[in-house]
Amino acid sequence: MFQINENYLQLNESYLFSTIARRVENFSTSHPEADIIRLGIGDVTLPLPPSVLRAMHHAVDEMGVKETFHGYGPEQGYGFLREKIAGIDFRRRGIDISPDEIFVGDGSKSDTGNIGDILGEDNVVAITDPVYPVYLDTNIMRLGKSSRIVLLSCSEENGFLPEIPSQPIDIIYLCYPNNPTGTVMTRQQLKQWVDYALENGSLILFDAAYEAFIRDNDVPRSIYEIEGAKECAIEFRSFSKNAGFTGLRCSYTVVPKALRARSVDGDELPIHSLWNRRQSTKFNGTPYIVQKAAEAVYSSQGRQEVGDMVAYYMRNAEMIREGLTEKGWIFFGGENSPYIWLKCPDGMDSWTFFDRLLEECHIVGTPGVGFGSEGEGYFRLTAFNSHEKTAEAVERIKKWEY
Ligand code: MLT
């Protein structure tokens, strides 16, 4: 009989957000009257910006006309979008990234999950704890629960920022602004990681999906703001959280041509050509209609609309922060991030807090321990609901006698 990939048996039975969805569904079925407010998964709630919609409608019409119909597109993404990304997200900020270093994808979840395809199995991989579960799960899928996966503890003591490892690490996943803790790294702090990677020949996988939420000037929006990062880092960006594309699916990955890795024979190779090979073999490109929608995000009106959406969610973050401050609870994040990471009161564990908040306040959040053992005793709330629902959730928490 054929065999399975045994590594899958070492994963938790289901993906964190699927487990939560099932528990909420069960509660909702047994309590149909409960008005449940969802501050759990980081899914947006505002509709797509008007300029994005217009561009999509136009692209749909193009698909119905012989002369403007589009079949398979370039696997790396259309030039019109890659040019805009390179120009506006990077060059305008003084970062020299060229359009052909940008690979348009269908979401950072896929891109951060798939990047392992081009990396050797003997690498020592460092992952923060707590962490966005995709990095850890996809490494377990590849390597099993291996001593080559090293967890970097992020706790209240170190401000939820990993310390530079004392042992040699080949690959490091960093996500800033951070999911789940909402914390950020300053330029100086990120520079320490870039310097470490350059000294040790390591690769940094930098997930900047929440870049649009940065407010502080000393927080870098891209790892390439740090000198030398093009020789040691791949950056992942998404249109999901800033422009509301969680249901449309569009992202991009920057693989600089200067980034080189070593083969077993000791030859140095540009990793750009490997990712290009991977994408052109396993991916047929993000749909034309979706890339046209993403292009509209870069128009002057699109940028204004996206800015307004981000500001809307950040107002929610502020409301949550104000409410939790009044309640006297300890929390982190929510200033340069749509996530608020709170310490469960009275030493409650994460899942007890989840159950009680759901049952007694009808509010859904995400238990910190779902992001790793260091998340035990913490809980994540998102700012992605409406002002009205967020305000109502804050009121319920303020009145809660737990
Ligand atoms: C989250 O809630 O952590 C995010 O929605 C996950 C994701 O973007 O895939």
For the record, the structure tokens of 215 come out as 């407010």
Residue 22 scores a pLDDT above 90: yes
What is the maximum alpha-carbon separation in the chain? 66
| Ligand 1 atom at minimum distance from 133 CA | 3
Dihedral sign for Cα atoms in the order 383, 388, 393, 398: positive
CATH topology of domain 8-47+310-399: Aspartate Aminotransferase, domain 1 (3.90.1150)
Taking the C-alpha atoms of residue 7 and residue 142, their distance in angstroms, rounded to an integer, is 7
For the record, the structure tokens of 347 come out as 């030493």
Residues 6 or more apart whose Cβ sits within 8 Å of residue 370: 16, 19, 20, 133, 350
For residues 60-65, average pLDDT: 98
For a pocket test of ligand 1, which of 43, 134, 175 has the largest count of ligand atoms closer than 8 A to its C-beta?
43
51-300: CATH class: alpha beta
| Ligand 1 atom at minimum distance from 132 CA | 3
Residue 402 scores a pLDDT above 90: no
Dihedral sign for Cα atoms in the order 87, 255, 371, 157: negative
pLDDT digits 0-9 by tens, 157-209: 999 999 999 989 999 999 999 999 999 999 999 999 999 999 999 999 999 99
* CA 252–ligand 1 middle distance (angstroms): 16
Residue 377 scores a pLDDT above 90: yes
Dihedral sign for Cα atoms in the order 16, 18, 21, 22: negative
pLDDT for 71 equals: 97
For the record, the structure tokens of 95 come out as 């970062």
Of 112, 164, 179, the residue nearest 139 (C-alpha): 112
Domains in the chain: boundaries: 8-47+310-399, 51-300
pLDDT for 299 equals: 98
pLDDT confidence tier of residue 39, bands split at 50, 70 and 90: very high
* CA 84–ligand 1 middle distance (angstroms): 25
Residue 90 scores a pLDDT above 90: yes
Q: In 5-19, which positions are buried (b, 16+ CB within 10 angstroms) versus exposed (e)? A: eebeeebeeeebeee
Residue 12 scores a pLDDT above 90: no
pLDDT confidence tier of residue 15, bands split at 50, 70 and 90: confident
pLDDT digits 0-9 by tens, 274-309: 999 999 999 999 999 999 999 999 999 999 999 999
Residue nearest to atom 8 of ligand 1 (CA): 42
| 8-47+310-399 and 51-300: identical CATH topology | no
Query: 61: helix, coil or strand?
Result: helix
pLDDT confidence tier of residue 364, bands split at 50, 70 and 90: very high
pLDDT for 102 equals: 98
pLDDT for 14 equals: 79
Taking CB atoms and a 6 Å cutoff, what residues make up the pocket around ligand 1? 41-43, 109, 132, 179
For residues 99-128, average pLDDT: 97
Residue nearest to atom 4 of ligand 1 (CA): 42
| Ligand 1 atom at minimum distance from 109 CA | 9
* CA 272–ligand 1 middle distance (angstroms): 27
* CA 180–ligand 1 middle distance (angstroms): 9
| Whole-prediction pTM | 0.96
Q: Which residues pair with 102 in a beta bridge?
A: 254
Residue type, 193: W
Average pLDDT of the chain to the nearest whole number: 97
* CA 401–ligand 1 middle distance (angstroms): 30
For the record, the structure tokens of 366 come out as 């995400």
Residue 13 scores a pLDDT above 90: no
Terminal Cα-to-Cα distance of the chain (whole angstroms): 54
Residue 3 belongs to what H/E stretch?
none
| Ligand 1 atom at minimum distance from 209 CA | 8
| Ligand 1 atom at minimum distance from 40 CA | 2
pLDDT for 204 equals: 98
Residue 315 belongs to what H/E stretch?
helix 300-327
